[in-house]
């Protein structure tokens, strides 16, 4: 049940448009929110302004920042704890399932029917624990997003930028002077060096469930 490293990285939109030098902070939102971009403001004559581009490595903001690394480590510990707590019962159920499969056909059906509700209940508990860990990560994302908003305002405005490109969309870009990732990470480190990840309340679970993609189904 341990979360993969990809789960611990932020996946954001490839191109972020900044109106008047602000608005490039939609980095840690849910996938549905990331599709929305802010249209650049028109000039007084109705023409679009000339693009002023900066580049941001969105994944590195989370992966290289102190708070991002701290959150990732805490989430991994939570996932491992949940796995450890459930592993004993999982092994017991697996052993019992193997025993049932070896029974004579005359006995197997009745034993399997009695066993199925216990197996389903365990799977439900495991899914609930995984959902809790995922929701805790989403909570942390939201808090980091709040901290990033004023930072991205300041950095993009300082560079007179109105267009922020994800570094992954600019693989052939040679001019590294346009990359603001280090500035953003440095300011995030200063403003939010750490964050205590906590499991969400039932009310928070309901709210965050709307923002998270459904968990992948595991094969039997």
Q: What is the pLDDT of residue 161?
A: 87
Instruction: Indicate the domain borders of the chain.
Output: 5-209
pTM for this entry: 0.66
Q: Which long-range contacts (CB under 8 A, 24 or more apart) does 66-71 make?
A: 66/188, 66/189, 66/193, 66/194, 67/144, 67/147, 67/188, 67/189, 67/192, 67/193, 67/194, 67/195, 68/10, 68/144, 70/193, 70/194, 70/195, 71/8, 71/137, 71/140, 71/144, 71/195, 71/197
- Encode pLDDT of 9-23 as tens digits: 322 222 233 332 223
Q: What is the pLDDT of residue 121?
A: 93
Ranges of residues in the chain whose predicted pLDDT is under 50 = 1-40, 218-220
Q: What is the pLDDT of residue 152?
A: 87
């Amino acid at each position: 049940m341990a979360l993969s490293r990809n789960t611990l990285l932020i996946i954001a939109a490839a191109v972020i448009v900044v109106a008047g030098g602000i608005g490039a902070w939609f980095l840690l939102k849910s996938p549905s929110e990331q599709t929305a971009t802010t249209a650049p403001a028109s000039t007084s004559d109705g023409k679009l302004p000339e693009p002023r581009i900066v580049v941001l490595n969105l994944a590195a903001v989370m992966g290289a920042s102190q708070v991002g690394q701290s959150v990732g480590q805490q989430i991994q510990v939570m996932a491992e704890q949940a796995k450890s707590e459930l592993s004993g019962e999982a092994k017991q159920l697996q052993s019992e399932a193997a025993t049932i499969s070896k029974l004579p056909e005359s006995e197997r059906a009745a034993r399997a029917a009695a066993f199925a509700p216990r197996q389903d209940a365990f799977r439900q508990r495991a899914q609930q624990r995984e959902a809790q860990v995922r929701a805790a990560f989403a909570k942390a994302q939201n808090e980091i997003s709040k901290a990033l908003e004023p930072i991205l305002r300041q950095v993009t405005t300082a560079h007179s930028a109105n267009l922020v490109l994800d570094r992954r969309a600019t693989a052939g870009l040679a001019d590294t002077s346009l990359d603001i990732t280090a500035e953003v990470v440095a300011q995030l480190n200063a403003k939010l060096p750490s964050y205590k990840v906590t499991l969400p309340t039932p009310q928070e679970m309901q709210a965050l469930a709307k923002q998270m993609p459904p968990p992948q189904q595991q094969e039997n």
